[in-house]
Structure 1
Amino acid sequence: MPNLADKSDTSQDEPLLACIPSGPGDARSQMTDIVNKETRSRMMSGICGRDTRPELLPRRALHARGFRYRLQVKPVSGRPNLVLPKHRVAIIVHG
């Protein structure tokens, strides 16, 4: 039985990264879509990035308590969902 701890010649070993796809252009990393192009387009058009339920809950709560805010402020780093300029607070809602 060979002793694996004394293995000094590693030049003949296969590289460990050979089985990992190199990027989006690699044929092994491409997945086939299970729906056709028209169905995928209809599905994706229904996804919105604004006014989602997780965003509306804190907006309604803040407004009811008298806080005034701005939505989706571009100049602020990270483009937060809510910005309270008077209090210098930015809120990012994940969801």
Structure 2
Amino acid sequence: MRRDPDPMDPKGLIRESFAIEGISLPECRSILMDWALSLPDDMPPERAIRALLSRHQGAPRDHPMQQVLREGLNTPPAPRRRGGRAGRLSN
């Protein structure tokens, strides 16, 4: 029996990550990137992450994917000028 794709986890990547024993933080970050690229265009990532955190709240709190999902809700820092020729000439 084939299940319909989950709109919050179309490829089942997040679900499967919780089943992998000994998965590392870098592996979870890589999985999250693949997951984000597989979301439908009309699915806001923040909404999907909140739903996944709720769905997997029974998983151990120290599971690396729990941490990565929580980090995914953080607002990225504002871009800063990094220097270089273009930065010097834009005045």
Higher relative contact order, chain-length normalized (CA < 8 Å, sep 6+): 2
Rg (Cα) greater in structure: 1
Per residue, is there more strand in 1 or in 2? 1
Per residue, is there more helix in 1 or in 2? 2
* TM-score, reference length from structure 2: 0.20
* TM-score, reference length from structure 1: 0.19
